Every structure is written in structure tokens, then in C-alpha cells.
């Protein structure tokens, strides 16, 4: 019976017409899979499509400018972009070249861990003489072999996909322009040659991965065309172009449009096809497939951006990914000669602004929902919380220069007039549709999660984080969201980090705010219905009051209501948790500190703290950095410390400490806590 819970929920949530549409598409897809796939283009067809009389003439024909406003349309603009980055953003240029040197040696970072790419004995046609074939069917982190495109227990396919997306190949090819190092461009070409000739397995298991890889191959080829490498290796270009056609055809036949609510997978499919067709229009089939996706792209912009501009998946990390994909979609539309409707541009403008409005006291984005560190603009490495480039990208995309510079703005748009870099955002912000509220003072920022589970109520990337807070004090993140450790390779860790106990909110009777469904790691049906009751941003204080009904399902129902007040003059945060309903319950107010237990100390409150924080305060938890307190948590209730886990990005696991203020109480009951800077 428990297996029927999710299908029954979908019947309640998804319109019947959509379910019928999904069924029809799945049947059609199954029938289509029985038919023979189309043949890849012949050598003659590829040459004719570019107007090249011979293979030796193909590189120069490929390097000719293609339509579009992005720098990748013209190799001269790419070279100029490289010079501009070296002048304006030299630190970024040098970082990219240092990474390229490592990549040239076969070393790359996979979710924060440096690995040597596994190799195997296999012939790679047209590869450099020193090239050794890559073992694509081995996990780069553990060496374990994938079987028939599937992951053995405990092995994360995302480790393999992090290599297979070829994001590093884009940076390697761009580094060749920055450093005038043709050997790096040769290596980038070898990577692509290797993959398109390798046996198909895990790297072809998910169309999203194939689509993003195809887009990255198109970027890399255009960058390599700005070097002398393709002129020396025309047959290598021919093979990669044939492989690019196979990528496009594969995605077009397997669009991920049969989910109850299409998400970032379908968006990646659509945009990947559009980028391939826009950057390599010489392959007529690629361009035709790209044109067919444009109407769907416009629909996805409308469906996947909420009225306040935030992504509809209830995840800050996936908001960044979607916004980067939307950027590529718009640039592809323009390159294909199609106008972008005003309502689409208005929606995107709101999305770029939403990203800016999320910034915390460190100038970074908070973690709400899943965070898999995914990118669609892989021109420079960025950590999962870094959204700063989006401000300049949005300005260039929608308004033009001047804009805040970043490697992304230069590589996408070419050299441009540089605008002033933005300072830390001041004042408060509220994204009401997303249910995200941000308070700011000179010393403190508070981000509050009070929104839906996302993805049309299916909660594919939502967490049990209702009324949870993230708090930064004096540039330190002292109360955090746990992030995402792993997905399918560790179901226990997956549920642990999306569970209530690892979020900085309240827990009743040890229960989840919303129950997880057995075997459904990417489903969290909407049951809590969190809502904001009060949002006041005044000169001296910010005040939020919200509640959720997740615990109304208990035998003795409980309503959790939380008030958060930020005092601007001193940066102190006052949090009041009210528990309303009948009966006696075990109540816990929990705070995740992204520090090991050795950096946390409990003591009795001092007399001065009684004066500044309240007379009822009895206990203080000090958060230490280099043996000095940087913030305190205080409450009348004696705290208990638990070991926790924190992930700053996907797979970047670190020890954390969970502070628990617990009591058994007859309702109604209230627990008060204070989070404060240290006054010296």
C-alpha cells in the first residue's frame, strides 16, 4: 500500500490531461525505440554541409563566423575575449591556466577531490600519439566499473558524469587561447575524440548528460577553431562533428518530457539541442532540431520561473543552473534568427534579480533545497554558492554594457565596457512565491525558508526545511543548511541531509515535517503548506512570522509557528518557536553549525548576557574560530550537541555540529533562542 502513496498523490496533484499526455508519449517513445535509429552523416555529407571540397578544407570552413551575438560566433571575438580577460580579470585567467596544466597531466577535480582519470587499452582514431584512452565506464573516484550503464551499489554516477559532461574540456580549450598553448587545445580535442568513439554506457544513461555534453563540445570546438590545431588535425574535427550529430540525435529521440512535472532535465535537453544547432549550424540536422525546440523553450521559461523570479524547484542551486540554461537558450534563439518574446525577457529579468536578492552577508547564495553544483556556463570553476557572475550576465543579456565583468561575460559576449562591481546587498528582500525571506544588517544576515516543496508539489529537490534559517555574522556562516551530500549512491545520507533533523528548524516527537516515501529519493509531496503570516522590514528591525502544518498529521496535531526578529543596531537575532495544539510532546529546536564539535563550547550565561540577551537566558553556545568566539547561541534551555554533516557543495562533506534545545512540554509551549554577534 505504501508504494501507492506517490501515484495516488500524483493523481490528486497533476491534471488528468497531463497524465494522459505522459502515457501517450511513453507509448510513442517505446514504439520509436523499436525502430532503427537514423544513420550518422557520412564524410561527404559533413563536408558538403560546410561547403568544404575536402577534409583538409573542413577546418577553415568550420572556423567561419556563424550567426549570433555571442563571442563564440567568431574566432576573432574569442581571441579578443581572451585578451580582455587577461587584462581585466588576470586572476581568473591564471586560475584557468593552472587548471589546464593539471588537466593536461590527466588530473581533474571531481566534486572537490582531485583524481587521476582512469585509463584503458583502446584505440582512439586520430588522437595524439601520446594519448591514452579513458576508461569512461569506471568511476573516476573509486575505480569501480559501471555495468550496462548502471551504477553498482554505493557508486555515484554523478562522479562519472562530472567527467563526462566535458566541462573541463571547455576550460581547457579556452585556456589554450589565454595561454597560447596549442598542446592544451590538442588535449581538449583528444578528450572529445575519445568519448565519441568509446563504447556507450553510463555516459549515455541520461539524456540530460548527453545534452549538456553536446553543448560543451560545441563550445570547445569553436574555441579550438581559434587555434591552429584543427588545421593540423582535420580528420579529428570530422570525427568529433559526426559525434556531435549523434549527441543531438540521441537527445531528440529521448527528450525527458514524460515526467509528471518536467524539470531541469527537460530544460537541459531543450537548451543543449539549441546550443548545438546554434553554434554548429553547418550541420543542417542540428539546426533543424534546435529550431523545433524553441517553442518548448519559451514554455519552459514561463513554467519554471515563479512570479517573483525564483526557480520552481525550491532549490537555490538549481535556480543557478536553470538561469544559466535560460541564458544559453536566449542566445541560441537570437543566433537562430528568432526574436525572444517580451514576456520571456521580463520573466528572465525577474529571475536574474531574484538571484541578486538572495545574497547573504558573505555575498553568496544561501543553500535551500538540493545543491548538486551543476553548471551550464562552465567557463570558470565556481563553488556551489557563487552566483555573483549572474549579475553581469543578466545585464549583458538583457540590457547590454556596461556590466560587472566576469569570465562568463567576456566569453559569452566578448570584450565589453566594464561596469562597477556590486557591493554587498543592503536592506531586506522577500521572494513571496518562493517563500524565501532575507534580513540584513551591518553585521548579520538571516535567510528564512518558508516556501513550497517545488516542482509542482512533487518536491524533486525540496527538503524538510520549513521555517529553517541560515545566519551569517561578521562574514562567517554560523548557522547553515546542510546542502546535498550524495544522491542515489547513498540513500541514507540523501534522506539524512534533506531531513528535518539536519535543518535549523523545529522538530516534534522526532518526526519529519513531511514523511519521505520509501524508495523515492526525488519526491517530497507537499504536506506542510508553509506560509508567511507577517513580513515587516522597518528601519530598526526586521520581523518575520510563519507557520507550517506538517505536524498536523500527528495523533495529537501540532502547528509550528516561528517568529524571527533581527535587531539592526546590534545584529542580534531573536527566534521564538511556538507549538500550538493539544497534548504533551517532545519539542526540539535545532541549529546546524558548519563547524566540528571541537569548535563549539557550552557554558552558563554571564550577567552581561542576561542584560543584553534577556534575563531568562541561562545557557550559551559559543562558536569558535581559531579559539576565539565569533558568535553565540543562547536559550533558557540547556543545549545538547549532536554530530552532524555539512556539504558546502555536492559531495563536499565536512563534520558539523547540531545544537539542540529540547524539552517535553504540554502544549501550547514556547522555546526562545538568540543568535548574536560577539561584543568585545
Which cell goes with 106? 590527466
Which cell goes with 263? 524539470
pLDDT surpasses 80 at 136: yes
Indicate whether 222 belongs to any domain. Answer: yes
Compute the distance between CA of residue 642 and CA of residue 659 in angstroms, rounded to an integer.
Answer: 7
| Contacts of residue 316, Cβ cutoff 8 Å, sequence gap at least 6 | 358, 365, 366, 367, 368, 369, 371
pTM above 0.85, yes or no: yes
Which cell goes with 524? 517530497
Residue 339 belongs to domain with CATH number: 1.50.10.100
Are both 393 and 443 inside the same structural domain? no
Neighbour tally for 598: CB within 10 Å: 9
Residue after which a domain boundary falls, among 413, 440, 465 = 413
Indicate whether 31 belongs to any domain. Answer: no
Which cell goes with 603? 557554558
Are both 143 and 208 inside the same structural domain? yes
Looking at residues 367-388, what average pLDDT do you find? 95
Are both 450 and 571 inside the same structural domain? yes
Are both 509 and 392 inside the same structural domain? no
Closest CA to 371 of 470, 471, 512, 506: 470
**pLDDT value of residue 240:** 98
pLDDT tens-digit map of 587-623: 999 999 999 999 999 999 998 888 888 888 999 999 9
H-state helical runs in 566-615 = 607-613
Residue after which a domain boundary falls, among 379, 413, 447 = 413
Indicate whether 67 belongs to any domain. Answer: yes
* E strand or H helix that includes residue 565: strand 559-567
Compute the distance between CA of residue 134 and CA of residue 122 in angstroms, rounded to an integer.
Answer: 8
pLDDT tens-digit map of 262-312: 899 999 999 999 999 999 999 999 999 999 999 999 999 999 999 999 999
Are both 156 and 223 inside the same structural domain? yes
Are both 367 and 441 inside the same structural domain? no
pLDDT tens-digit map of 185-227: 999 999 999 999 999 999 999 999 999 999 999 999 999 999 9
Indicate whether 27 belongs to any domain. Answer: no
Asked if 147 contacts 206 with a C-beta cutoff of 8 angstroms, the reply is no
**pLDDT value of residue 529:** 97
Which cell goes with 185? 587545445
| Lowest mean per-residue pLDDT among 34-48, 57-71, 566-580, 622-636 | 34-48
Looking at residues 408-428, what average pLDDT do you find? 89
Residue 659 belongs to domain with CATH number: 2.70.98.70
**pLDDT value of residue 4:** 65
| Lowest mean per-residue pLDDT among 6-20, 52-66, 593-607 | 6-20
Confidence band for 446, pLDDT divided at 50, 70 and 90? very high
* Maximum separation of any 2 CA atoms in the chain, in Å: 87
Asked if 639 contacts 659 with a C-beta cutoff of 8 angstroms, the reply is yes
Indicate whether 28 belongs to any domain. Answer: no
Mean pLDDT of the chain: 95
Are both 275 and 173 inside the same structural domain? yes
Q: Which domain holds residue 296?
A: 37-413
pLDDT tens-digit map of 497-522: 999 999 999 999 999 999 999 889 99
pLDDT surpasses 70 at 422: no
Cis check for the bond before 668: say yes or no (omega within 30 of 0).
Answer: yes
Pairing of strands 531-537, 476-479: unpaired
Are both 329 and 186 inside the same structural domain? yes
Are both 236 and 105 inside the same structural domain? yes
Confidence band for 30, pLDDT divided at 50, 70 and 90? confident
Are both 495 and 605 inside the same structural domain? yes
Asked if 59 contacts 230 with a C-beta cutoff of 8 angstroms, the reply is yes
Indicate whether 419 belongs to any domain. Answer: no
Split into its structural domains, the chain has a count of: 2
pLDDT tens-digit map of 338-359: 999 999 999 999 999 999 999 9
Are both 385 and 449 inside the same structural domain? no
Indicate whether 558 belongs to any domain. Answer: yes
Residue after which a domain boundary falls, among 354, 386, 413 = 413
Question: What backbone torsions phi and psi does residue 426 show, to the nearest 5 degrees?
Answer: -110, 165
Are both 192 and 53 inside the same structural domain? yes
Amino acid at each position: 500500500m505504501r508504494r501507492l502513496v506517490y501515484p495516488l498523490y500524483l493523481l490528486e496533484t497533476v491534471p488528468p490531461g497531463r497524465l494522459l499526455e505522459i502515457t501517450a508519449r511513453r507509448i510513442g517513445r517505446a514504439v520509436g525505440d523499436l525502430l532503427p535509429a537514423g544513420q550518422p552523416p557520412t564524410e561527404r555529407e559533413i563536408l558538403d554541409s560546410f561547403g568544404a571540397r575536402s577534409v583538409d578544407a573542413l577546418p577553415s570552413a568550420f572556423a567561419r563566423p556563424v550567426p549570433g551575438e555571442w563571442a563564440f560566433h567568431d574566432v576573432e571575438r574569442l581571441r579578443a575575449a581572451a585578451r580582455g580577460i587577461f587584462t581585466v580579470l588576470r586572476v581568473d585567467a591564471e586560475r584557468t591556466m593552472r587548471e589546464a596544466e593539471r588537466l593536461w597531466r590527466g588530473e581533474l577535480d571531481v566534486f572537490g577531490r582531485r583524481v587521476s582519470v582512469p585509463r584503458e587499452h583502446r584505440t582512439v582514431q586520430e588522437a595524439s600519439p601520446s594519448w591514452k584512452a579513458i576508461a569512461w565506464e569506471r568511476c573516476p573516484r573509486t575505480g569501480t566499473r559501471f555495468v550496462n550503464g548502471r551504477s553498482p551499489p554505493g557508486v555515484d554516477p554523478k562522479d562519472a558524469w562530472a567527467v563526462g559532461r566535458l566541462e573541463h574540456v571547455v576550460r581547457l580549450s579556452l585556456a589554450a587561447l589565454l595561454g597560447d598553448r596549442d598542446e592544451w587545445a590538442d588535449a581538449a580535442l583528444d578528450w572529445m575524440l575519445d568519448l565519441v568513439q568509446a563504447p556507450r554506457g553510463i555516459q549515455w544513461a541520461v539524456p540530460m548528460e548527453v545534452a549538456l555534453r553536446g553543448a560543451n563540445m560545441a563550445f570547445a570546438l569553436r574555441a579550438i577553431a581559434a587555434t591552429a590545431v584543427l588545421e593540423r588535425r582535420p580528420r579529428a574535427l570530422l570525427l568529433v562533428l559526426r559525434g556531435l550529430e549523434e549527441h543531438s540525435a540521441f537527445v531528440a529521440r529521448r527528450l525527458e518530457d514524460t515526467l509528471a512535472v518536467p524539470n531541469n532535465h527537460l530544460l537541459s535537453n531543450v537548451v543543449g539541442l539549441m546550443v548545438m544547432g546554434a553554434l554548429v549550424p553547418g550541420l543542417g540536422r542540428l539546426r533543424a532540431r534546435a529550431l523545433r525546440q524553441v517553442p518548448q523553450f519559451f514554455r519552459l521559461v514561463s513554467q519554471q520561473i515563479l512570479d517573483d523570479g525564483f526557480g520552481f524547484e525550491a532549490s537555490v542551486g538549481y535556480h543557478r543552473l536553470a538561469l544559466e540554461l535560460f541564458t544559453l537558450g536566449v542566445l541560441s534563439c537570437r543566433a537562430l534568427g528568432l526574436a525572444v518574446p517580451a514576456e520571456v525577457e521580463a520573466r528572465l529579468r525577474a529571475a536574474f534579480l531574484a538571484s541578486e536578492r538572495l545574497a547573504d552577508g558573505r555575498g553568496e547564495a544561501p543553500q535551500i533545497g538540493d545543491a548538486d553544483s551543476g553548471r551550464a556556463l562552465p567557463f570558470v570553476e565556481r563553488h556551489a554558492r557563487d552566483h555573483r557572475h549572474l549579475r553581469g550576465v543578466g545585464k549583458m543579456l538583457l540590457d547590454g554594457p556596461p556590466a560587472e565583468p566576469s569570465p562568463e561575460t567576456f566569453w559569452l559576449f566578448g570584450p565589453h565596457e566594464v561596469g562597477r562591481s556590486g557591493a554587498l546587498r543592503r536592506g531586506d528582500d522577500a521572494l513571496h512565491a518562493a517563500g524565501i525571506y532575507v534580513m540584513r544588517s551591518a553585521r548579520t544576515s538571516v535567510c528564512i525558508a518558508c516556501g513550497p516543496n517545488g516542482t509542482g508539489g512533487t518536491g524533486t529537490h525540496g527538503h524538510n526545511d520549513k521555517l529553517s534559517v541560515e545566519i551569517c555574522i561578521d562574514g562567517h556562516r554560523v548557522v547553515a543548511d546542510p546542502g546535498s551530500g550524495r544522491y542515489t549512491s547513498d540513500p541514507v545520507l540523501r534522506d539524512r541531509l534533506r531531513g528535518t533533523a539536519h535543518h535549523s528548524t523545529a522538530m516534534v516527537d522526532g518526526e519529519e515535517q513531511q514523511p519521505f516515501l520509501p524508495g523515492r529519493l526525488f519526491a517530497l509531496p507537499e504536506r506542510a503548506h508553509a506560509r508567511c503570516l507577517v513580513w515587516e522590514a522597518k528601519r530598526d528591525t526586521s520581523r518575520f512570522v510563519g507557520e507550517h502544518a506538517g505536524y498536523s498529521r500527528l495523533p495529537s496535531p501540532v502547528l509550528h509557528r516561528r517568529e524571527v526578529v533581527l535587531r539592526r543596531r546590534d545584529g542580534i537575532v531573536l527566534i521564538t518557536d511556538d507549538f500550538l495544539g493539544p497534548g504533551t510532546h517532545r519539542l526540539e529546536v535545532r541549529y546546524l553549525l558548519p563547524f566540528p564539535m571541537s569548535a563549539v563550547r557550552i557554558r552558563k550565561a554571564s550577567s552581561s548576557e542576561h542584560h543584553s540577551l534577556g534575563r531568562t537566558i541561562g545557557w550559551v553556545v559559543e562558536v569558535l574560530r581559531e579559539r576565539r568566539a565569533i558568535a553565540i547561541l543562547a536559550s533558557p534551555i540547556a543545549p545538547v550537541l549532536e554530530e552532524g554533516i555539512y556539504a558546502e557543495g555536492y559531495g563536499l562533506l565536512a563534520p558539523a555540529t547540531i545544537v539542540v534545545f529540547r524539552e517535553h512540554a504540554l502544549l501550547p509551549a514556547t522555546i526562545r533562542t538568540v543568535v548574536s554577534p560577539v561584543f568585545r
